[in-house]
């Protein structure tokens, strides 16, 4: 059986590292810094590609198709598939592997499913740290796939070197393409399922909507399952990624710092809810016995200084 | 689960050739609602693929659903392969149609829990919380 200890040892070490940095704290920070130092020493320069879009647009299939083409070209490819945790139970159903072929004997591939846990956003707090560890493990191309909650969802844009928004054939109209939000920060918009009716029309609508603005993203019409347009899309991704220089790692650290701050605030909010302090304070503010400013300090340690 | 800082991660796998995954999906969804992080891999996975997925996902539990009758062959091989890959602290449990007579041998081979038809999600969840590795 090829799945012996030596064969899987490197993947196991990376996998356990990601689990370790999912628990924030000094030990996690230490591990992330070691990974950064290792990447610097080895002069690594991974390309991080964000994939986002509505559920069912075909992000997992497209990430898998792009990974296959890149791997065939000799690159080491990882997919980080992020799915939401339940607000009710804290559990998560992570099903992206269903659409990603397993390659158990290939150490040039790595797939990890990540739950958003306490994040309350569509990007897990651990996402940036995970890309830092994956890069240090020698992967050249890292796909980070996340459900786009829609127009306000730009966490992935901060993390990715190149952001790909995936649309289905039924995707938006011209006016939606003109709205502020994710399409504004997209580097590429790919209309997937080009083999389905309506895909060309969706592509045309998007093109006419986006053409009206400056700095419009690249557009692609692809089919992940039929393999149409995938090589061309990867070439576009590489073109856009070529200019990133060594900024990529600094961008990932920046995203991690933001995530760490958000994680801290999210934990405070959870605690304030769970203890009832949030509700109590709100009632006191309504009753006029507490001030908003004083409550922000008491609940979250926020001290607002008066406007200058 | 107050004693754990992170959710228990469970890989739900369908090894071999049987194409019935309703039970696996019901369990995956049920465990999600019990607070587990459930990774579902889809139908007809090879043992090597299941082992590699378990390693990459760093799961605490591998749950196999087998309705094909191939459990006596597949499950001991899976346990041996996980152990050989250094994942000896991963709990392996099985569900599906597994005759009573086959159980002692499977338990001997390291299959920690065997859940037949009629097992509730809550029973599975309780077992996993009691027996999954601590971290």
- Say yes or no to pLDDT of A289 above 60: yes
Say whether A268 sits in a helix, a strand or coil: helix
Say whether A219 sits in a helix, a strand or coil: strand
Mutate to test the interface with A, among B19, B35, B55 (most CBs of A within 10 A): B55
Task: Give me the residue spans of the domains in chain B.
Answer: 9-130
Nearest-by-Cβ selection for A102 from B6, B40, B52: B52
Residues B87-125, buried b or exposed e (16+ Cβ, 10 A)?
beebbbbbbbebeeeeeeebeeebbbbbbeeeeebeebb
* Interface ipTM: 0.91
- Output the DSSP codes for A125-153: TTHHHHHHHHHHTT-SEEEEEEE--STT-
Q: How far is CA A307 from CA A30, A53, A291, A300, A304, in A?
A: 38, 39, 17, 20, 9
Containing A200, the helix (H) or strand (E) segment is helix A199-210
Interface touch A3/B48, C-beta < 8 Å? yes
Overall CATH class of domain B9-130: alpha beta
Nearest-by-Cβ selection for B58 from A16, A86, A117: A16
Task: For chain B, positions 92-111, list CB contacts with chain A under 8 A.
Answer: none
Average pLDDT, chain A: 87
**Number of Cβ atoms within 10 Å of the Cβ of B77:** 14
Quote the radius of gyration of chain B (alpha carbons, Å): 13
- Which residue has better confidence, A152 or B125? B125
Distance CA B60, CA B74 (A): 19
Interface touch A9/B46, C-beta < 8 Å? no
Interface touch A89/B47, C-beta < 8 Å? no
Strand duo A162-167 + A47-53: pairing: parallel
pLDDT in tens, B65-112: 876 667 778 888 999 999 998 888 999 999 888 788 888 888 888 888
- Say yes or no to pLDDT of A264 above 90: no
B81 touches chain A (CB under 8 A): yes
pLDDT in tens, A181-199: 677 788 999 999 988 888 8
A117 touches chain B (CB under 8 A): yes
Nearest-by-Cβ selection for A95 from B5, B40, B86: B40
Say whether A188 sits in a helix, a strand or coil: strand
Domains and CATH numbers, chain A: 5-248 (3.40.50.300)
């Amino acid at each position: 059986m090829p799945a012996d200890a030596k064969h899987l040892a490197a993947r196991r070490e990376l996998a356990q590292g990601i689990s370790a940095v999912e628990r924030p704290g000094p030990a996690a920070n230490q591990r992330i810094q070691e990974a950064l130092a290792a990447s610097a020493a080895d002069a690594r320069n991974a390309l991080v590609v964000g994939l986002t879009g509505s559920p069912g647009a075909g992000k997992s299939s497209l990430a898998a198709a792009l990974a296959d083409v890149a791997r065939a070209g000799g690159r080491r490819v990882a997919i980080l598939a992020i799915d939401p945790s339940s607000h009710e139970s804290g559990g998560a159903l992570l099903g992206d592997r269903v659409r990603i072929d397993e390659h158990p004997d290939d150490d040039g591939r790595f797939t990890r499913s990540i739950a958003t846990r306490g994040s309350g956003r569509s990007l897990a707090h651990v996402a940036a740290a995970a890309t830092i560890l994956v890069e240090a493990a020698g992967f050249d191309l890292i796909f980070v796939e996340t459900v786009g909650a829609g127009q306000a969802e730009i966490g992935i844009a901060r993390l990715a070197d190149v952001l790909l928004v995936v649309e289905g054939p039924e995707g938006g109209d011209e006016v939606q393409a003109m709205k502020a939000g994710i399409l504004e920060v997209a580097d590429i918009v790919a209309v997937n399922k080009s083999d389905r009716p309506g895909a060309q029309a969706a592509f045309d609508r998007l093109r006419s909507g986006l053409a009206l603005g400056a700095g419009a993203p690249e557009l692609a019409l692809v089919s992940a399952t039929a393999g149409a347009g995938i090589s061309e899309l990867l070439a576009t991704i590489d073109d856009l990624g070529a200019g990133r220089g060594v900024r990529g790692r600094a961008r990932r650290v920046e995203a991690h710092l933001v995530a760490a701050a958000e994680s801290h605030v999210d934990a405070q909010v959870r605690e304030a809810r769970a203890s009832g302090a949030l509700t109590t304070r709100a009632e006191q503010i309504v009753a006029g016995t507490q001030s908003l400013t004083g409550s922000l300090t008491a609940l979250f340690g926020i001290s607002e200084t008066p406007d200058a | 689960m107050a004693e754990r800082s992170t959710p228990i991660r469970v890989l739900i796998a369908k090894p071999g050739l049987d194409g019935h995954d309703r039970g696996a999906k019901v369990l995956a969804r049920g465990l999600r609602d019990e607070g587990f992080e459930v990774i579902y891999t889809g139908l007809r996975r090879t043992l090597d693929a299941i082992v590699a997925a378990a390693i990459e996902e760093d799961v605490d539990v591998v749950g196999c659903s087998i309705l094909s009758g191939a459990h006596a062959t597949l499950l001991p091989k899976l346990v041996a392969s996980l152990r050989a890959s250094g994942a000896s602290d991963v709990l392996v449990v099985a569900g599906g149609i597994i005759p009573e007579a086959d159980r002692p041998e499977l338990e001997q081979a390291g299959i920690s829990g065997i859940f037949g038809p009629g097992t509730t999600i809550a029973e599975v969840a309780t077992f996993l919380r009691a027996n999954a590795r601590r971290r």
